[in-house]
Structure 1
Amino acid sequence: MVGHPSVHPAFGSPEVVELIDSLNPTIMRRLVAVLMLTPLEIATEKLSGQNYPTLHVVAQTKERLRRELELEAGDDSITRTVKKRLSRLFEEKFAVREQHIVATMLWPPFRRLEQFRATISAAQQEQAVDPRP
């Protein structure tokens, strides 16, 4: 492995890193630009507001990232692998919590939760509407 003293858990194994090292540079540029940078750049921009609230966009941003990482019929095996691993990593590390749901419901344009059905469980939706134990 060239230049990879340790393997990030998102890649899963040294074999995946070796595969990435052996990729055609054109394919790598496409993967980085389309799969990683564009959706992550948008998410980072939306969530890093210093002069405006962002709590209400957390669930929406996670849902958008989830859709961006959905497998498509034309995806090659490398793209599919990267999308699967990133999806798993986002599920583990990017939690939508109760305060995000409440902030979304209170923000006038996002009061309806239908757009987040895949991100927010039915129990979370119910608890946000009626937080009694």
Structure 2
Amino acid sequence: MLTEHDCKIAPSTCYAHRKRLQAPSARTVRDAELKPLIQQICEANYRVYGARKVWRELYRQGHIVARCIVERLVRERGVTGAVRGKKTIATTPDSTVDRPPHPHPSYRPSRPLPTKPGSLEAERPVGGLSNERCNSGC
């Protein structure tokens, strides 16, 4: 189909695509083996373990796996582990209440708001304790 539109395809690309369709990659096979183990470890430990503790537990059970692989698989499973401290939520919006529209939805200022002269500049130190002293005499 692509050759009809004058698109050139290397033969190695075609063979690689066929090979991927016939058999899964080694990474896919290894991930399929590790996902049930990770799920079992998380459930056995009350879903408190994060990626680092899951990786250590796999090592204790005799499964030598790179930590980055465990982190990726734990992230795919959605396991977060225990989070220390309580997250503070100040307010929760009520989705059932209709919010009034903005009082001036089409307001666009024509120019920037005026500021006081020197309000955005840094204040110079008093008494000559600035960088000029070090540059001239050091």
Fold conserved between structures, TM > 0.5: no
TM-score, normalization by structure 1:
0.29
TM-score, normalization by structure 2:
0.28
Is the helix fraction higher in 1 or 2?
Answer: 1
By relative contact order (CA 8 Å, sep 6+), the higher-ranking structure is 1
